[in-house]
Chain A
Amino acid sequence: MTGLFPTSGENSGGGLDFITWEQAWCSEVLETPVRPQVTSMAAPRLPPPDPQFVLRGAQSAVHALHFCEGAQGQGRPLLLSGSLRGLVHIWSLQTRRVVATLDGHGGQCVTWLQTLPQGPQLLSQGRDLKLCVWDLAEGRNAVVDSVLLESVGFCRASVLAGGLQRWMLAVPGRGGDEADTSPRPLLLAGYEDGSVALWDVSSRKVCSRVACHTEPVMGLDFDSQEARGVSGSAEKALAVWSLDEQQALQVRGTHVLTNPGIADVKIRPDRRILATAGWDHRVRVFHWRTMKPLAVLAFHSATVHCVAFAADGLLATGSGDQRISVWSLYPRT
C-alpha cells in the first residue's frame, strides 16, 4: 500500500506534520477573539498535581509514546511505547500491564510510533534506519512491510491518513506518497537550522519557510482549526506560529522557558492545552489559546523524551528514567 516519493533531503530536520488545505481553511472557526486575562492572583495556587498512575517495566528509556484508541480493549485505549532498546510495548490502560512486546528494530531506539485509524496497523520508526509497518490484527504482531530510511537525524516521520486504505507518509530524507490524494496535502517540517517550512506535497515545493528558533527544531504540532502551530527546540523558548490564507507562516510569539531543551510538543485533541517534554526532566502544560503556563510536572528524574495525548484527554509522558507517567489534567467536561 505504500509508495515512495523522494522529497528534497537538503535538511534533515526535526519534525514533520501533515495538514490539509481543507482542514486548515474550510473549518468555521478561523480565529478566536482574544480576551484580556482576568485571573485573580490572590487565590492560593493549587499544589502541583500528581500522576494518575505510573507504568514501570519498559526497562529502558522511553522514546516514543502513542495512544491507540481501543481496537481490542473496548473501554480504555491502549498505550504504545517505544524504548531505547528497540522494543515496542503495548500497555493496557485497564490493567496497567504490558499486553504485548514487539521487537523489530534490532535493539536500536524506537523514535516514533503511529497507528492508522482504519486498520490495526502500526508504524514504527527506529534508529536502525527502518520504518516498519506492523499488523496487529487478532493478536498478530508481525512486520508486514518496512521502509529503509536514509536519515540518521532525530526527525520523526508523519502520516496523513486519507480515505480508506490510503495514506500518505512523510519520512525524513525519503518521503512516501500515494498518488491519489484528492485535496492538496500540505506538510510542515522542522529543520535543524531552527526553521519551520510548509511544503505543498503535490507540487513538491516549499510554500513558506520561517525561522523560529536558533537551535534545531525538536518537535512541532499544529492546530489545523485555528491554523496555529507550536514548535520546541533545543533552545530556551517555544515558538508559536500561524499560517495565513496565503499559506505563509508567521511567527506569532515565543514563550521563554526556564530551562532549555524541548524534546516533544503535543496539543491535546480538544485544542485546549498543550504539553511539552523537557530535557530538564519536567513536563510543562500551557493553555493553548493564551499560552498561559498552567502546570509544571516535576515527576521524572531524567530527560522527558515524549508526550502523548489520548482522545479522552489523558496525558502520557515517557522519560529516560524508564517510567511512563499518566496524568489527568483539566479533564474535559
Chain B
Amino acid sequence: MLPVDGFGFWEGRELGKVNHRMDPEVSAVRLTILEAVHILSSSEDGGRIFCTLESLKRYFGETENPALPEEQEEFARIHFSTFLRFLVGKLSPDWLELLPDGQMEELWASFFLEGPADQAFLVLMESIEGAASPSFRLMKMVQLLARFLSVGRMAAVMEGQCRQQAGPAFPLLQETLLTKVVGLPDRLGNRLQRENLATFFPQNYFPLLGEEVLRVLQVVVDSLRGGLDCSVSFLSQVLGKACVHGRQKEVLGVLVPRLTVLTQGSCLWQRVCWCLVERVPNWAMEAVLKGFVEAAPGPEVLSRLLGNLVTKNKKAQFVMTRKLLFLQYSCTMPMLQSLLGYLAMDSQRRSLLMQAGPTTHQVLKELLETWGSSSAIRHVPLVQQRYVSKAILICLAHLGEAELQDSRDELLASLMEGVKSRLDSSLPPVRRLGMIVAEVASARIHPEGPPLKFQYEEDELTREMLALAMPRPAADGPSEAGPSFALVSGETPDRETVDCSGPQAGPEGSDSELDSDDEFVPYDMSVDRERRSSKAPSYVRGCLEALTGSEDWERWEAALWALEGLIFRSPAATQEVSVELAKVLLHLEEKTAVAGFDGLRQRALVAVTVTDPAPVAEYLTTQFYALNYSLRQRMDILDVLTLAAQELSRPGRLGKAPQRGSPDPGSQPGGAVVPAWRAVVEERIKRKTRRFSKGSAGQAPAVGPNEFNLVAGYFFFPLLQHFDRPLVTFDLLGDDQLVLGRLAHTLGALMYLAVNTMVAMPMGKALLEFVWALRFHGDAYVRRGLLSAVSAVLLSVPTEQLLADLLDELLEARSWLGDVAEKDPDEDCRLLAVKALLLLEKLRDKLLPLSSP
C-alpha cells in the first residue's frame, strides 16, 4: 500500500493515481489531522498554528507524551506524506512571518527532518521538481534538502529500507527511492541550472553518499550483533546504480578505504561486506567490481572485501575472469595485479586461474592461447597485446611449479606458437614482447630445460614487465597498513619531508675553492681517437686493392676509414671504378672488429652512389633482386639508395663541399650540421645589427636544381619490377615481409625526394599501382610503408598532374585510406592514413577555388 493514500478530498490533485480506501470507521489520528489541517488552512493566528503543529509532533514519538505506537505507525504510513505536501503548499513568506525569529520556519522544517525520512525525502524531491522556478518555495525547499543531507538524514532513508520487511508495494517504493537517491545530483542540476548548490554537485554528493552508506552499514552490523535481521540489498542497489552512473571513484573512494580498515579484524564486517557486493544486481556487477578492483590497494584487501564472490556469482565470474582480462584492456597494472592476485589467493578461486585436467575456464591457459594466436597478433592493437602479456606474467608469478607442471605441454604449445609468430613480425615492439614473455614463461613452465635468452634493448617497458614476473611477497604487507595509517595520522608525511630536507642542506655549503674548479668545462674530445698507422692508401684504386686483396688488416682498416674522403676528393677517379667499388663494398664483411664498421661501409657506399649515380644505382637495384644475397645486404641496398637520393636532392649541395659525416657510428650520415662557430658568428651579427624592416629573418634556403632529377628513374623503377616474382632464396610476398616493408618505405622516400623533378609523375603512377596491389597486406609494417608512400605521392607530384592523370587512382586510394583510418588495428597505420587523408583534403581545397568561378 502506498503511504500517499489518504486525504483525497482536500488535496485531490496529488492523489490522481491512488486508489481510495476509506476506512469504515474514521480513526482518531485521522480526525486529529483533519482538524489540524483545518486550523492551518483557515487560521492567521501564529500562536494557534504553532500549538497545532507542536501537538502533531507527538506522532514522531520524541516528545514527553508520545502517541500510542499503533497511532504513530498509522500516522507515518498513511498521513505523513500527505500532510507534508500540505505543509509545502502552505509555504509562503507571509505564512512564515506569522511567528517572529523564524520559529515558524524551524517548526515547519522539523517535520521534514524528524519525520520518517523516506517519505520526507520523496516529498522534498517531488516538490522541488514540481515547483515553479525560480520561486521562494523552490529556494526554501532546496535549502531544506541541503540541510536534510547535512544532518545525515540520507542514512536514515537507506536505513529505513534495510529494516523494512517486504510488503506488496515495497519494490515500487524502493525503485522510486533508488532512482531519486542516485539521481539527485542530475535532478537538482537540471532544476536549478546555475543556481545549484555545491552540496548537490556529483563530486560532493557521491562521497557523502558513500559516507552515509557506511553509516548504515555500521547500523546494520550493530543490529546484527543485537540479533535483529537486516537486509543490505537496498544499499547494494544504491551502490550498483551509483557505479553504473560512473561514480565509482567518488563512492568507492570513500567506502573502500574505510571498509578495508573495518573488515580487518571483524568477521561480521567481512560478511556484511561480502553480502553487500553479492546483492549488487547483475546489471551493475561489472561497474561495481571494476570500482572495487581499482580502489582496493592490493589483492589481500580485495580478497577480504569480495570473499569468494567469483565462485558464487556467475556474472561476477564472467567479469573478473573474462571481461576485465580479454575483452577490455583498460585496467592499470596495479589493478591487474590486484585482480589476478585476488584470484590466486584462495584455493577455490585459484582453480579458475589454473586447474589440472581439461576444464572450461582457466585464465592462464586462455591468456596464453589468446597470446599465441597468430591472427590475434595481426588484428589486436599493440596496447592490448601488451596488456595480455603482462597478465600472463602476473599469472605466472602467482602460480607454483607444481600447478604449472600439470598442463605443461598445453601451455608450452600455445606459448611457442605465439613466440614464433611474434618473432616473425616486422614490428620491433611485437618482437620484443615475444622475447620477454618467452624468456620469462619458458623459465617458469619448463624450469629444467635450457633457458631461453634473447637480446633486446632494456627500456621502461621491459623493466616493468620483468618486474611483474617477480613473485610478490604474499604477506599482508605495507599495502595494507597504508590506508589505516593515513587515517590515523594525517600529518605524518609532512613531518617526513621535513626530516628529509634537513640533512640535505649539509653538503651544499662546502668551500668555494672547490666549486670554482668545476667551472673547468671540458672541451669536446671526440678528436681523441686511436692513431692509425699511416698505411692508408692515397687513391681510390689503392683502397679497392686494399679492401679486396690485402691480407694486411691494418691497411684494410685504414682503407675503409679513408675511402669516403677519397671518393669525395677525386670524383673522376671514382667514376672509373664506381661499379666495381660498389660491388666490393656490398660484399664486404666485417673481418676485424673495426668500431663502426657498418657506418663506414654504408657511408662509403653512399659516397660512391652519389659520385656516380646512374651506373651504381643500376647495379644496386639489379642486385636487390639477384640470388644469393642475405636479407641484411638487401636492406643495406635499400638504405644506401635512400641516403644517396637524399644527398643528391639536398638543395645547394653543389656549392658546398660535401660534408663528411662524423665518424661515430650512431650519427646519421648526410645530415647537415651547422658548425658551431657559424652559429656564434651569426648570433653576434644578429645582436649588433638593427633591422628596419621585419622581413623573414631566417636564412634563405640554398637554391639549386634537384640533382636527383636526372637519375631518379635509375633508383626507382628497377626496384618495382620484380617484387612479385619469388626467388628460391627471396620471397617478398611470402616470408620476407620485413624487406617488403622496407622496400615500401624506401620507395616512399625516393618518391618524396623526387619532388620537383620531371619524373615524379610516372613515379607516382607506378607507386600508386604498387600500393594498390599490396593494400590488404597482413603485416602492419608493410601497410605503414604503403601509407607513407601514398603521402609521398601526394606531396611530390604536382597538383595539376595528380588531378589530370591520377584521378581514378586517387579516388580508389581515398576510399582505402578511409577504411584504414577507421578499421586498421595498428595505431600508426590509422595515423598515417589520417595524415594522407588530410593531404587529400588539402588538394581538394586547392581545387575548389579554381573550379568555383
Contact = CB atoms under 8 A, between A and B. Distances in A.
Taking chain A's interface residues, is the majority helix, strand, or loop, or is none over half, making it mixed? Answer: loop
B520 A272 contact: yes
B522 to A, nearest CB: 5
A293 B522 CA distance: 7
Interface stretch (B370-378, B527-535, B641-649): B527-535
Nearest to A288: B517
B527 A287 contact: no
B510 interface: yes
Interface string A144-164: 000000000000000000000
B402 interface: no
B9 interface: no
Interface string B486-523: 00000000000000000000000010001001101111
Contacts of B514: 32-33, 35
Nearest to A49: B523
B677 interface: yes
B523 A38 contact: no
B531 A45 contact: no
A54 to B, nearest CB: 18
Interface string A277-317: 00011101001011011111010000000000000000000
Interface residues of A, number: 29
B524 interface: yes
Interface string B45-89: 000000000000000000000000000000000000000000000
A295 B531 contact: no
A259 B527 contact: no
A37 to B, nearest CB: 8
B522 A45 contact: yes
Interface residues of B, number: 18
B528 A258 contact: yes
A273 interface: yes
A39 interface: yes
A47 B679 CA distance: 12
B228 interface: no
A38 B517 contact: no
Identify the interface centre among B510, B517, B529: most chain A CB within 10 Å of its CB.
B517
A294 B527 contact: no
Interface in A96-139: none
Taking chain B's interface residues, is the majority helix, strand, or loop, or is none over half, making it mixed? Answer: loop
Contacts of A282: 527-528
Nearest to A294: B522
Nearest to B523: A295
A80 B523 CA distance: 28
Contact of A48 (B510, B523, B531): B523
A42 interface: no
Contact of B520 (A33, A35, A273, A298): A273
Given A259-B531, A296-B528, A46 B523 contact: yes
A145 B787 CA distance: 88
Contacts of B521: 39, 43, 46
B474 interface: no
A259 B517 CA distance: 27
A259 B530 contact: yes
Identify the interface centre among B524, B526, B530: most chain A CB within 10 Å of its CB.
B524
Interface in A1-48: 32-33, 35, 38-39, 43, 45-48
A47 B524 contact: yes
A45 B510 contact: no
A272 B528 contact: no
Given A272-B520, A287-B520, A295 B525 contact: yes
Contacts of A281: 531
Contacts of B517: 272, 287, 289-290
Contacts of A289: 517
B510 A294 contact: no
A44 to B, nearest CB: 8
A296 B525 contact: yes
A293 B523 CA distance: 9
Nearest to B514: A35
B524 A45 contact: yes
A296 B530 contact: no
Contacts of A47: 523-524, 676-677
A290 B433 CA distance: 44
A38 B508 CA distance: 12
A294 B523 contact: yes
B523 A258 contact: no
A284 B676 CA distance: 22
A273 B531 CA distance: 25
B531 to A, nearest CB: 5
B522 A258 contact: no
Identify the interface centre among B510, B518, B526: most chain A CB within 10 Å of its CB.
B518
A45 B527 contact: no
Nearest to A32: B514
Contacts of B530: 258-259
A258 B527 CA distance: 11
A35 B511 CA distance: 10
A46 B796 CA distance: 40
A46 B524 contact: yes
B520 A296 contact: no
Contact of A292 (B522, B526, B529, B677): B522
A43 B523 CA distance: 11
B523 to A, nearest CB: 4
A295 B522 CA distance: 6
A45 to B, nearest CB: 4
A296 B529 CA distance: 10
A38 B517 CA distance: 11
A111 to B, nearest CB: 24
Contacts of A294: 520, 522-523
B525 A330 contact: no
Nearest to A41: B522
A281 B529 CA distance: 11
A47 B525 CA distance: 8
B520 A45 contact: no
B527 A296 contact: yes
Contacts of A39: 518, 521-522
Nearest to B518: A39
A58 to B, nearest CB: 24
A41 to B, nearest CB: 10
A330 B520 contact: yes
B544 to A, nearest CB: 27
Identify the interface centre among B524, B525, B529, B676: most chain A CB within 10 Å of its CB.
B525
A258 B514 CA distance: 28
Given A33-B514, A35-B510, A48 B520 contact: no
A286 to B, nearest CB: 10
A282 B523 CA distance: 14
A250 B324 CA distance: 68
Nearest to A37: B518
Contacts of B520: 272-273, 287, 292, 294, 330
Contacts of A48: 523-525, 527
B315 to A, nearest CB: 54
A182 to B, nearest CB: 32
Nearest to A295: B523
B67 to A, nearest CB: 82
Contacts of B677: 47
Identify the interface centre among A38, A46, A49, A284: most chain B CB within 10 Å of its CB.
A46
Interface in B523-574: 523-531
Nearest 8 A/B pairs, CB to CB: A45-B524, A296-B528, A295-B523, A280-B531, A298-B527, A296-B525, A47-B676, A46-B523
Interface of B: 510, 514, 517-518, 520-531, 676-677
7 contacts: A32-B514, A47-B524, A48-B524, A48-B527, A287-B520, A292-B522, A295-B523
Interface of A: 32-33, 35, 38-39, 43, 45-49, 258-259, 272-273, 280-282, 284, 287, 289-290, 292-296, 298, 330
Given A39-B522, A46-B524, A48-B525, 11 more contacts: A45-B523, A47-B523, A47-B524, A258-B528, A258-B529, A272-B517, A272-B520, A287-B517, A293-B522, A295-B523, A330-B520
